[in-house]
Amino acid sequence: MPHLKILFFLLISLKLQAQSAQEIIESADSKLRGKSSYSEMSITIVRPKWQKTMTMKNWSQGNDYAVSLVTSPAKEKGTVFLKRKNEAWNYLPSLERTIKLPPSMMTQSFMGTDLTNDDLVKQSSMVVDYTHKILGSQRILGLDCWKLQLMPKEEATVVWGKLIIWIDKKDFMQLKVEFYDEDEELVNLMMGHDVALFDGVKLPGKIEFIPLEDEGHKTIIKYDVWQFNKTIPSSYFTTQYVSRLK
Amino acid sequence: MRTTYFIASILFMHFGLLGQEKEHSWWKDRVQISGFVKYMNTASIANLDSMITDNLIHNRLRLKVNITNKLTSVVEMRNRIFYGEATSLNPHLGGLLNDDYGLIDLSFVPVDKQAFVMHSILDRAYLKYSAQKWELRVGRQRINWGVNLAWNPNDLFNAYSLIDFDYQERPGADAVRFQYFTGGLSSVEFAAQPGSSLDSSVIAAMWKFNKWKYDFQLIAANYLKDITIGAAWAGNIKSAGFKTELSYFHPKSNFADTSGALSLSTSLDYSFKNGLYLNGSLLLNTSGVSEPLNASSLFQTFIGDITAKSLMPSKLTYFGQISGAFNPKLSASMSLFYMQGINMLLCMPSIVYGIEENWELMLTAQAAFGSLSNTFKSMGSGVYLRLMYSF
């Protein structure tokens, strides 16, 4: 009987811990997204001998709606990526056509960067598709952080086999993420830098994605504008509006 | 002299004002200029011992002015300079290029020498009024109703050919287009490209909606001498894309006694994690032929003569494409068209290299193989080297 009691307590505390891990991830996630968000950013692809930069504007509404407009370079300017729940479209201004994308396109590199389309539109949400566990505490950029482990749920169609995430305890910023493949081998690293205030929210203004198998390769995202909880008309997330975005 | 001074001072004042912060931002917010300049060298090979080369300088100038928040004017100009062997061998080039099939002639040939031809055309010139629930466009515009990559039977206003790789913008149609948005992913649309009679006009209505995670569209049209109904969908089978597009054309004269033509294309596409993209398509054109062609100009039958009704000369055509990027700067693709019955294969390999932010180099070839006197052999090919600068 006492054993049963201990087991019961253990179960409860495990459940409590699981919940708080979930809460940490949720706080970090909702902080990034807000109810809605608008951002202007540059993405730089770094390779050993050259680099390439493009700029984008992004609008998002909750978890389900996101749209991105490429603003440079000239050749890609006006290209739009629209995501509504599990459906995605691509608008090509030179063809003046909106193309429905196959779901397999989501796991592919976004315009040659070290990020997948998925990473960008956050289809595979860290909240929904993974189970969460606190591993401990560690300091990143001098800030006290939770170290969490995320394992994909069985039914989730995600690319990664495991994620280790560091989130600071005070402001719930994601400061470091390790991406493991199905064989639990570390393949990608994400690092946050240049913490600043965006629209009153403390966030890393520069994020580096580093694929570990290719030396000298990385993708740097730099945020110039980042706003939260502004009213975005729902028409922004429609196939009819893609040619009007500016 | 006085006039020149007057114009100069106006210009000076204008640019002076532009220098000021307020005016500058008005200009920046309202006017967008973009485009590209391409230089392309072409080598056409009829058989191995004869090669004809040619050069093309190709510029596109796009001007978009947001007159008010709702009213926009769009003007796009296509300027081309042809010079070289092939140009000098075609004395009619200037005349051929000058044809403008629109309501208003917006095509000019300022220079028409034997080995040097210059051609300019305004292939977009329209006004757009965008309200929250609707949009009206009047003028020369691209009305792109296509859904598929390779063939678009629903593209009633300007048929598109992948083979014509250097003009993906396509000519504009002189038309009126009205779209009414009934929901986030649904709309009704009406478009008319008037001609001198009903038989030279395209008047069409389209209903678009999204259901079961599929995009659907239904079309009814007066398409030149035919009555047309069309449909298309774009969705997925598991994680592969599945798109189908069809149009049925029935002649208006002797409606009961004649048979119509069906143009149907269907495709599956898939992207692998490493970026490799595959597309397989099929085109059925019931008005096409199924015996070897006797065309004097091969590529003309694929590019020049295509309409939504007849996108390929053969009854049944298969298409396959594989493409991928070696790195963010270097990508390659291979497209194959096989015309059953005509027994002809068209190969289009292509390599694209992004040199600098706005500079791109492309090498493309087109090679046709077919059966002539019971042997399958080369029927001509072209190699195209293109340097492009975008702005």
B224 has pLDDT over 60: yes
- Would you tell me which residues 151-210 of chain B have a C-beta closer than 8 angstroms to some C-beta of chain A? 160, 168-169, 179, 181, 184-185, 187, 210
Q: What is the pLDDT, as a whole number, of residue B24?
A: 60
pLDDT digits (tens, 9 = 90+) for B163-193: 889 999 999 999 999 999 998 899 999 999 9
pLDDT digits (tens, 9 = 90+) for A175-210: 999 999 889 999 999 999 999 999 988 999 999 999
Q: What is the CATH number of the domain that holds A222?
A: 2.50.20.10
Q: What is the pLDDT, as a whole number, of residue A6?
A: 56
Q: What is the pLDDT, as a whole number, of residue B29?
A: 80
Q: What is the pLDDT, as a whole number, of residue B295?
A: 56
Distance CA B188, CA B327 (A): 42
Distance CA B264, CA B318 (A): 12
- A33 or B318, which is more confident: B318
Distance CA B367, CA B378 (A): 7
Whose tokens are 């196959």? That residue is: A102
Contact state of B241 with A101 under an 8 Å Cβ cutoff? yes
> Residues near B389 by Cβ (< 8 Å), separated by ≥ 6?
B36, B37, B38, B358, B359, B360
Q: Phi first, then psi: give them for residue B232, nearest 5 degrees.
A: -155, 155
The answer to whether residue A113 is domain-embedded is: yes
- The mean pLDDT value for B119-135 works out to 95
* Partner residue facing A235 (CB), from B132, B270, B272: B132
Q: What is the pLDDT, as a whole number, of residue B372?
A: 63
Find the farthest-apart pair of alpha carbons in chain B and give their distance in angstroms, rounded. 76
- B28 or B6, which is more confident: B28
Interface test with B, best of A100, A109, A215 (most B CBs within 10 A): A100
Q: What is the pLDDT, as a whole number, of residue B4?
A: 44
Element (H, E) at A6: helix A2-33
Which has the minimum average pLDDT: A9-18, B120-129, B350-359? A9-18
Q: How many residues does chain A have?
A: 246
The answer to whether residue A245 is domain-embedded is: no
Q: For residue B219, which of B113, B110, B288, B143 has the smallest C-alpha distance?
A: B143
Q: What is the pLDDT, as a whole number, of residue A223?
A: 95
* Partner residue facing A77 (CB), from B34, B181, B271: B34
> Residues near A8 by Cβ (< 8 Å), separated by ≥ 6?
none
Element (H, E) at A13: helix A2-33
> Residues near B215 by Cβ (< 8 Å), separated by ≥ 6?
A100, A239, B147, B185, B208, B209, B233, B234, B235
- The mean pLDDT value for B27-48 works out to 89
Whether residue B377 contacts residue B358, with contact meaning beta carbons closer than 8 Å, is answered with no
Q: Which two tokens stand for residue B25?
A: 């931002």
Distance CA A136, CA A78 (A): 45
- The mean pLDDT value for A211-233 works out to 92
Whether residue B356 contacts residue B391, with contact meaning beta carbons closer than 8 Å, is answered with no
B160 has pLDDT over 90: no
- The mean pLDDT value for B73-89 works out to 94
- A23 or B33, which is more confident: B33
Q: What is the pLDDT, as a whole number, of residue A3?
A: 59
Q: What is the pLDDT, as a whole number, of residue A112?
A: 67
Q: What is the pLDDT, as a whole number, of residue B14?
A: 45
Q: For residue A179, which of A222, A220, A108, A126 has the smallest C-alpha distance?
A: A126
Contact state of B168 with A244 under an 8 Å Cβ cutoff? no
Element (H, E) at A4: helix A2-33
The answer to whether residue A225 is domain-embedded is: yes
Q: What is the pLDDT, as a whole number, of residue B23?
A: 54
What angle separates helix B21-30 from helix B2-19, to the nearest 10 degrees?
90
- Domains plus CATH for chain B? 131-390 (2.40.160.10)
Distance CA B285, CA B287 (A): 5
Q: Which residues of B125-138 are buried (b: 16+ CB within 10 A; e: fewer)?
A: bbebebeeeebbbe
Contact state of B327 with A244 under an 8 Å Cβ cutoff? no
Q: What is the pLDDT, as a whole number, of residue B154?
A: 97
Q: Measured between alpha carbons, how far is residue B229 from residues B218, B242, B286 in Å?
A: 8, 21, 15
- B24 or B276, which is more confident: B276
The answer to whether residue A243 is domain-embedded is: no
Q: Which residues of A touch B (CB under 8 A)?
A: 45, 47, 50, 52-53, 73-75, 77, 84, 86-87, 94-97, 99-105, 107-109, 111-113, 159, 234-235, 237-240, 244
The answer to whether residue A246 is domain-embedded is: no
Find the farthest-apart pair of alpha carbons in chain A and give their distance in angstroms, rounded. 73
- The mean pLDDT value for B253-274 works out to 89
Distance CA B201, CA B205 (A): 13
DSSP structural state of residue A17: H
- The mean pLDDT value for B75-92 works out to 92
Q: Which two tokens stand for residue A39?
A: 């951002």
Burial class (CB in 10 A: 0-12, 13-18, 19+), B4: exposed
Q: What is the pLDDT, as a whole number, of residue B294?
A: 64
Distance CA B7, CA B11 (A): 6
The answer to whether residue A244 is domain-embedded is: no
Q: Which residue of B has its CA nearest to A102?
A: B241
Q: What is the pLDDT, as a whole number, of residue A9?
A: 53
DSSP structural state of residue A171: T
What is the percent of chain B with per-residue pLDDT over 90, rounded to a whole number? 63
- The mean pLDDT value for A216-236 works out to 92
Q: What is the pLDDT, as a whole number, of residue A33?
A: 72
pLDDT digits (tens, 9 = 90+) for A112-148: 677 776 666 554 567 888 899 999 999 998 999 999 9
Q: For residue B94, which of B110, B76, B77, B78 has the smallest C-alpha distance?
A: B110
Q: What is the pLDDT, as a whole number, of residue B15?
A: 46
* Mean pLDDT taken over chain A: 85
Q: Which residue of A has its CA nearest to B240?
A: A102
Q: Which residue of A has its CA nearest to B37?
A: A75
Count of the separate structural domains present in chain A? 1
Backbone conformation region of residue B356, classed left if phi is above 0, alpha if psi is from -120 to 50, else beta: beta
Rounded to a whole number of angstroms, the distance from the CA of B328 to the nearest CA of chain A is 4
Instruction: Assign B297 a pLDDT band (cuts: 50, 70, 90).
Output: low
Chain A residues in contact with B149 by the CB 8 A cut-off are 99
A163 has pLDDT over 60: yes
Distance CA A87, CA A65 (A): 10
B262 has pLDDT over 90: yes
Cis omega (within 30 of 0) for bond into A2:
no
* Partner residue facing B270 (CB), from A73, A86, A102: A102
Whose tokens are 């202007």? That residue is: A40
Q: For residue B264, which of B216, B235, B214, B230 has the smallest C-alpha distance?
A: B230
Range of the domain at A152: 2-237
Q: For residue B271, which of B244, B239, B242 has the smallest C-alpha distance?
A: B239
- 3-state secondary structure (DSSP) of residue A140: strand
Q: What is the pLDDT, as a whole number, of residue B22?
A: 52
The answer to whether residue A242 is domain-embedded is: no
- B357 or B353, which is more confident: B353
